[in-house]
Amino acid sequence: MHPLMKYFNNIIETIGNTPLVKLNKLTKEIDALVLAKVEYFNPGSSIKDRMALKMIEEAEKDGRLKPGYTIVEGTSGNTGMGLALAAIVKGYKLICVSTDKQSKEKFDVLKAVGAKVIVCPTDVKPDDPRSYYSTAKRIGEETPNSWYVNQYDNPSNTLAHYQTTGPEIWEQTNGKVTHFVVGVGTGGTISGVAKFLKEKNPKIKIWGIDTYGSVFKKYHETGIFDENEIYPYVTEGIGEDIIPKNVDFDLIDKFEKVTDEDAAIFTRKLAKEEGIFAGNSCGAAVKGLIQLKENFKKDDVVVVLLHDSGSRYIGKIYNDEWMKKNNFKLDI
Ligand SMILES: Cc1ncc(COP(=O)(O)O)c(C=O)c1O
């Protein structure tokens, strides 16, 4: 590269170094400084680009992934997008297995970047052969020269956030961060960031945002995996009916649950009141931290992570008819 020219060699080099943006209106009732780590600035429009690339790089290093292979993953869309970008640049094929609960836009986007998409039913148990977990695993086993990523249990997922997201938050706040609030799905984001931040300052509080219909909060508080906690819910990207290996419960200080309606309303509010056009789990994260406002002091620096872009939810959260169909208020 010419020394005076500034460009990236390919799209995956642009992953990371996302901005930290102060929330001004939505959190005005909170005394503390609230900063949003806006991850839709990544090239695939979500934080998952970071871990997708890391999982691929680590698999290349130890020979699980070889030139010309097919990458297989169960993904609600964002991880698939990150994998797709890396697969294009590095020359792999990609099969994404997802559920019928996800926004149609997410599938269309994946197809646009060359992935094959297989859709499975949402409302079946994880060990049911029709579930997206089982289907992804089976396709991984049946496809010759393939590698099954398994973001839930793959340690490179957490490692990506330990090596990039955590250090960025530390540097951007000049080490002043006191609380980190984030939605939890595979657990990679919360565990990697928590590990890094707690190594720097063990006093930093790590709060995970969960959904009603997910097992995390009760499991964290009691150690009990309670199947009665599991039922269908609307919020996308967070909450689980399994305990992924990437959730390090020892690093998490608290879980807070947010309703589907509140998550949807606060996603819309983020767009209208802050100009931050983000995804469904981002509204949940912001509402969760507002629910916890009694815990903040004036000098606290709270970082809330916003996982993805609103562009994936045009037909859902940002569609008035969809909101009405779900009996969600349009505004509060
Ligand atoms: C939109 C969205 N929000 C939140 C999450 C949760 O992140 P993590 O899997 O790192 O816990 C994900 C990832 O699955 C996601 O796609």
Q: What is the pLDDT of residues 215-250, one digit of tens each?
A: 999 999 999 999 999 999 999 999 999 999 999 999
Domain 11-46+155-325 adopts which CATH fold? Rossmann fold (3.40.50)
CB 283 less than 6 A from any atom of ligand 1: no
Angle (nearest 5°) at CA 205 between 227 and 236: 45
Q: Is 86 helix (H, G, I), strand (E, B) or coil?
A: helix
* pLDDT tens-place string over residues 5-17: 999 999 999 999 9
Ligand 1: which of 47, 81, 182, 306 to mutate, judged by most atoms within 8 Å of the beta carbon?
47
CB 288 within 8 A of CB 241: no
Class of residue 245 by CB neighbours under 10 A (exposed 0-12, middle 13-18, buried 19+): middle
Tell me where in the chain the CATH 3.40.50.1100 domain(s) lie: 11-46+155-325, 48-148
Round to whole Å and give the CA distance between 240 and 216. Answer: 7
The correct answer on CATH 3.40.50.1100 for the domain covering 48-148 is: yes
CB 189 less than 6 A from any atom of ligand 1: yes
Q: Output the pLDDT for position 104.
A: 79
Q: Output the pLDDT for position 107.
A: 87
Q: Output the pLDDT for position 141.
A: 95
Confidence of residue 320 (pLDDT cuts 50, 70, 90): very high
Residue 105 has pLDDT above 90, yes or no: no
Residue 332 has pLDDT above 70, yes or no: no
pLDDT mean over 177-204: 98
Round to whole Å and give the CA distance between 164 and 259. Answer: 30
Angle at which helix 260-269 crosses helix 280-291, to 10 degrees, equals 100
Q: Output the pLDDT for position 259.
A: 98
Residue owning the nearest CA to atom 1 of ligand 1: 237
Ligand 1 geometric centre to CA of 183 (Å): 7
Most distant CA atoms of the chain, gap in Å: 61
pLDDT mean over 54-60: 98
CB 251 within 8 A of CB 198: yes
Confidence of residue 101 (pLDDT cuts 50, 70, 90): confident
